[in-house]
Structure 1
Amino acid sequence: MSRPRASLRTAVVWEVLREALDDRAKATGRGTLDVLDTGGGTGNFAVPVAGLGHRVTVVDPSPDALFALERRAAEQGVADRVRGVQGDAHGLFEVAERGGYDAVLCHGVLEYVDDPAEGLRNVAAALRPGGVLSVLAAGLGGAVLARALAGRFTEARRALADPDGRWGGGDPVPRRFTPEQLTGLVAANGLEVAAVHGVRVFADLVPGALVDAEPGATEALARLEEAVAELPAFHSVAAQLHVLAWTRSNGGGAGAPAADGTV
Structure 2
Amino acid sequence: MRSSVSLYDALAATYEDHFAAPHRKAYDDLAWEACCEAIGTSPGVVIDVGCGVGRWSRRFLGQGHRVIGIEPAPRMSERAACLQDENFTLLRDRVEQVTLPAGNVDAVVAMGSLQYTADPAATIAHCAAWLRPGGVLCVLVDSLFGLVVELVRADKGGEAMERLYSRRGVWRIDDQEADLHLLDVARLGSAFVQAGLEVTSTSGLLVGASLIGRDDLVSALNADYDRQLGQERVMADFPELADLGKQLLVIGRRTA
**Does TM-score exceed 0.5, indicating one fold?**
yes
After superposition, residues 53-202 of structure 1 pair within 5 angstroms as 53-71=64-82, 73=83, 79-93=85-99, 96-162=100-166, 164-166=167-169, 172-202=178-208
1:235 aligns with 2:242: yes
1:248 aligns with 2:255: yes
**1:109 to partner: Cα distance:** 2.5
**1:180 to partner: Cα distance:** 0.5
> In 2, Cα distance between the equivalents of 1:166 and 1:236?
16
Counterpart residue type for residue 67 of structure 1: E
> In 2, Cα distance between the equivalents of 1:213 and 1:137?
24
Match of 1:15 among 33, 49, 70: 33
CA 1:61/1:133 → structure 2, altered by over 3 Å: closer, same or farther? same
- Residues 29-82 of structure 1, C-alpha deviation per residue, up to 9 Å, x if partnerless? xx42011111111122211111111011101111211121233x35xxxx2322
Q: Equivalent residue for 2:54?
A: 43
1:224 aligns with 2:242: no
**1:168 to partner: Cα distance:** 11
> In 2, Cα distance between the equivalents of 1:171 and 1:149?
23
1:206 aligns with 2:215: yes
**DSSP-derived class of the 1:137 partner:** strand
**DSSP-derived class of the 1:111 partner:** helix
Q: Equivalent residue for 2:63?
A: 52
Q: Could you list the runs of 5+ residues in structure 2 that have no partner in the other structure?
A: 1-19
TM-score by length of 1: 0.79
> In 1, Cα distance between the equivalents of 2:128 and 2:138?
10
**DSSP-derived class of the 1:174 partner:** strand
Structure with the higher fraction of residues in helix conformation: 2
**1:156 to partner: Cα distance:** 1.2
Contact 2:121–2:188 (CA under 8 A) maintained in structure 1: no
After superposition, residues 252-263 of structure 1 pair within 5 angstroms as none
**DSSP-derived class of the 1:119 partner:** helix
TM-score by length of 2: 0.81
**1:112 to partner: Cα distance:** 1.1
Contact 1:158–1:167 (CA under 8 A) maintained in structure 2: no
Contact 1:35–1:55 (CA under 8 A) maintained in structure 2: yes
> In 1, Cα distance between the equivalents of 2:170 and 2:72?
26
Q: Could you list the runs of 5+ residues in structure 1 that have no partner in the other structure?
A: 26-30, 250-263
CA 1:4/1:168 → structure 2, altered by over 3 Å: closer, same or farther? closer
**1:117 to partner: Cα distance:** 2.2
Counterpart residue type for residue 204 of structure 2: G
**DSSP-derived class of the 1:68 partner:** helix
Contact 1:136–1:243 (CA under 8 A) maintained in structure 2: yes
Q: Alignment length, in residue pairs?
A: 230
**1:157 to partner: Cα distance:** 2.0
Q: CA RMSD in A?
A: 2.5
**DSSP-derived class of the 2:241 partner:** helix
